[in-house]
Every structure is written in C-alpha cells, then in structure tokens.
Amino acid sequence: MSKLKAGDYKSSVKPIWCPGCGDYAVLTALMRAFAQLELPKEEITVASGIGCSSRFPAFIDTYGIHGVHGRVLPLASGIKLGAPETTVVAVGGDGDGFSIGVGHIPHAARRNIDLTYLVMDNSIYGMTKGQPSPTSPEGAVSKASPYGSQERPLNPMLMAISYDVSFVARCFSGKIREMTDVFVQALEHPGFSLIQVLSPCVTFYNTYGHYNQITRALPVDHDPTDRLRAMALAMETETQYLGIFYREAGRATYSQRFETLQQRAPDTTLETIFESMKR
C-alpha cells in the first residue's frame, strides 16, 4: 500500500465550522500526524462529545463516533479496551471536557488508558452562541455575561498535571507545525495524553491576537519529567507556554494491566465468577 498523505485522511464531508475557526488547524495537524506515523485509517477511531469541535469525527476518514455531552472519555476508554490495537483519539471542547465531562479526567489519568485527548479550548460555548465556559477569564464579556464573567477560570494544564495525566501539553491553532509535532509525540506515548489546544472561536470570542501576544514555547531547557517544574510553568498565566509540560515514561497502561490480570486468571470467565458468588 502506498504511503498516505495528510489529505488522504480527509472525509467527503466538508467542515461546517465558521471560516477562520481554530478547529480547522487542529484537523489539519491531526491528519498530518497520522500521515507522519503512517497509521492506516482502519486502525484509528476518533470519538467526540458535543459542541462545535465535537463535529470533528465527521470530517476525518477513520472510524468515528459523535457521542454525548461530556462523555467522550468513557466512550474512548471503552473503545480502547475493546480494541487495544486501535489508535484512539478523543476530541471535544472546553465546555464538553472541562465542565460537564471534567470528572472523567482523573479516572482516565489514574488508569492511564492509552488514548490521546485533544481539547479544543476556545474559552467559550461556541455552539450555543457564546456563553462563558470553564476557561473564560474573569471579566469576560459575552451576551450571557454582559457585566463580565464573575468566575475564576480553571487552569487545565495545572489540573492535568495534578491529576497525574502521564502526558500533558498545550498547543495553539496559530502554530500548526509545532502542534503537529506535539500530536505525533502524544500519539506515540503509551498512556493517557491530554492536550489543551488554544483554538479561538472567531465568531464569539476571537482570541488570536491575544494568544499571538502571550504564547511562547516552553523554555528549551525544560525537562518534561520534572513534574514540579511543569506545575510551576502551568501556573504562569501572563505567559501561556506551548509544548510538552510533562511526560512520564514507563508507566503501565490499563490494557497492559488487564492483559497481565487475564494471564493470572486464565480460567476465569463470567460463569466461574457467578458460580463463586453463589458459594
């Protein structure tokens, strides 16, 4: 089979995102990453939640499922456990992942399920026409917060590192080459990777200019195995660092643990479990 190019992963469905939406760059970067890793389409599944960015699976020619609001991580985890050889990518937005779905992050982290979670963070609810989201800054003015949001934003990088996610990175839609490189490394990482992509909503909260000013690559001497330093860098909010904050190599994935368990209990079936419960 000849080598696939990024464009070969494109589906026949034309994205319906607004022109200029940051999510186009994420789609392109992910297709480029698949091509770089020479992943066959039939060995990839892209799962999503609900929201503008969650329309993603329709635009990419792999297996895909558009799930329910906030539940992309349980969905993606089930896919990975059922088909461990599949590359699983979970996608969604900040409302989907950091509000209704946020409770699933620590559990995916402690299980270290081998999947890549891309959160397209535009700091707004775009699909419902612009209400403040969990990452909107204090004072953010929207139709639903005409006097400015009165809530403090979450810090997704700090949260993910604290929860012990084994690969934590931040990208920006305005830097597609760097984003592709991070995606490649996240897909190669054996374990749970969470990537916050600053992906502006040009229609309801255009932050391109802001992010162009405040984003910067992580210091070249940053050691991604240094968890405390990664947390300190995540706590800096005036500068939003881009790149791989934290990476832990060598931790067993949930599928590996499951395999070991099966070897230890080769004769255990549902029937034998039910029998033992009767005793």
Applying CB under 6 A, the residues found at the interface with ligand SF4 are 17-18, 21, 23, 52, 122, 126-127, 201-204
Longest dimension (CA), the chain: 67
Q: Within a 10 A sphere around the Cβ of 60, how many other Cβ atoms? A: 22
Q: Which lies closer to Mg ion via its Cβ, residue 57 or residue 95? A: 95
Contacts of the segment 217-220: beta carbons below 8 A, 24+ positions apart: 217/178, 217/241, 217/242, 217/243, 218/242, 218/243, 218/244, 218/245
CB of 257 to ligand SF4, least distance (A): 37
Q: Which does 94 bind (CB under 5 to 8 A by kind): ligand SF4, Mg ion, none?
A: Mg ion
Q: Which lies closer to ligand SF4 via its Cβ, residue 94 or residue 114? A: 94
Q: Which lies closer to ligand SF4 via its Cβ, residue 23 or residue 61? A: 23
Report the chain's C-alpha Rg in angstroms. 19
Going through the chain in order, the beta strands assigned E by DSSP cover: 44-48, 63-66, 87-93, 116-121, 124-125, 131-132, 167-172, 193-198, 215-217, 240-247
Contacting Mg ion (CB under 5 A), which of 93, 132, 134, 224?
A: 93
Q: Which lies closer to Mg ion via its Cβ, residue 99 or residue 162? A: 99
Q: Does 94 bind Mg ion (CB under 5 A)?
A: yes
CB of 93 to ligand SF4, least distance (A): 7
Q: Which does 18 bind (CB under 5 to 8 A by kind): ligand SF4, Mg ion, none?
A: ligand SF4
92: helix, strand or coil = strand
For residues 114 to 143, the per-residue mask of contacts with Mg ion, x marking binding by CB under 5 A and - elsewhere, is --------x----------x----------
